[in-house]
Chains A and B, each alone.
Chain A
């Protein structure tokens, strides 16, 4: 448990020290919200949620890429793969929740009339999905630029795809969009439950993906035998 918490803590410390990057990441959801504010509140809130998802997944991508060379030696220092990826995920979720607070308050201050419980759930889903999503991309693509471009592609697809189409359900942040509809448009409960279920399933699926990649990359190699100290 101590190892998990230590990795989480160091992830938070590292991210909070990247102040420039963090500020730019926070700027994105804010811009997304403000740019659609005059047109339609629903679009504005959905863009905000997508912006939070983008910000957290980019932070996760950076954190994973930065740890690429450190992790093998931490493995030798006594960590198991799950300490490393779960600890990092925990740290990213913590940072994501902290980032979400001002964006939860933003529509409130703006005087938006919506279901705030729904907004909280949608933000939770965005953060929950974004951390393993960014980590998975960071684990599969070794360079930050490639990862960022892929993230950008996914977010653009998410933004442009028809939410009612079946393909939309395959996009990672569909859950927060669905919950946002319930939040803003006062639709039936089905939107909320579908969204929550999707968020839970996608988070679990991505976390399993991260676990699989990390376990392969940080596995004990078969050629190495550990003998008892003689």
Chain B
């Protein structure tokens, strides 16, 4: 990672951690000046950008985030059994506009099942889900058409909302650019790398401007830069009022979310990460 990449990552980190825009600009400008005048590897001078951003937050604090809006997703008492095995027992989650909720837990504890139930793609044995607004869903893998181009995926999704071809293509390419991907080529989806295919998958789910965005570990195959862009984009969507639920097993990202639902059996809890309201719902 060169100095420019390091500064870009630092900017994204500060934005995600909700450092006030002016203060963040000031910190990045100072770091850039320091690197230009003093030289040296930013990793040696400042350390990893995430760590430096953490130190900045400790030092100057964060801007107050926008107050969470109305409830967009309320899943209550979700129970799901496969044969005799109960995968989910009485899982409950409430997410408001402008919040990110992380669904975590061990392998096979029902994270993807919970998300599919929230998306209405699967029926639970008990419980119900109330959604206010439009739903967007990004599966863990698949969900694209092998023989179509990225632009054709955008046209297909856009047509569902009555969006004309040109605007749908432009919107898709713009959303892909946010993930550091130029989507306008004539490459069929089957020829895209695993990470790029996931970018297409993610772009499709945000294209319909959903009020509730459900993401099932969408970052499989992402490189470090894209991964940073991904969380940056989530922060932007959150700030724009989208309610986001993301299934993740990367526990080091939990400081970036507002709510954590742990589905590990016998440990199912909902924590409000930012408000530090622990406890079981």
Interface residues, chain A, CB within 8 Å of chain B? 2-3, 6-7, 10, 13-15, 17-18, 66-67, 69-70, 72-74, 76-79, 220-230
Contacts and interface: CB of A to CB of B under 8 A. Distances in A.
A77 B206 CA distance: 10
A227 B130 CA distance: 7
24 contacts: A6-B155, A6-B159, A10-B148, A10-B156, A13-B152, A17-B147, A17-B188, A18-B147, A66-B147, A69-B142, A70-B142, A73-B139, A73-B205, A76-B120, A76-B135, A76-B137, A77-B207, A78-B162, A79-B160, A223-B117, A223-B124, A224-B131, A226-B130, A229-B132
Given A6-B159, A76-B119, A79-B160, A225 B131 contact: yes
B194 interface: no
Nearest to B121: A72
Nearest to B165: A6
Given A18-B147, A70-B143, A78-B162, A224 B128 contact: yes
Contact of A223 (B70, B129, B207, B211): B129
A17 B117 CA distance: 34
Interface string B145-172: 1111000100111011110000000000
Nearest to A4: B159
A73 B128 contact: no
A2 B160 CA distance: 9
B116 to A, nearest CB: 9
A230 B132 contact: yes
Contact of A78 (B137, B160, B188, B211): B160
Interface of B: 70-71, 117, 119-124, 127-133, 135-137, 139, 142-148, 152, 155-157, 159-162, 188, 204-205, 207-208, 211
B139 to A, nearest CB: 7
Contact of B123 (A10, A222, A225): A222
A229 B143 contact: no
Given A76-B137, A79-B160, A226-B131, A221 B123 contact: yes
B145 A70 contact: yes
Contacts of A230: 70-71, 132
Contacts of A222: 123
Q: Which 3 A-B pairs have the closest CB atoms?
A: A78-B160, A77-B160, A224-B120
Nearest to B70: A230
A67 B136 CA distance: 18
Most B CB within 10 A of own CB, among A18, A78, A79: A78
B32 to A, nearest CB: 41
Given A14-B147, A69-B142, A225 B130 contact: yes
A2 B139 contact: no
A74 B156 contact: yes
B137 A2 contact: no
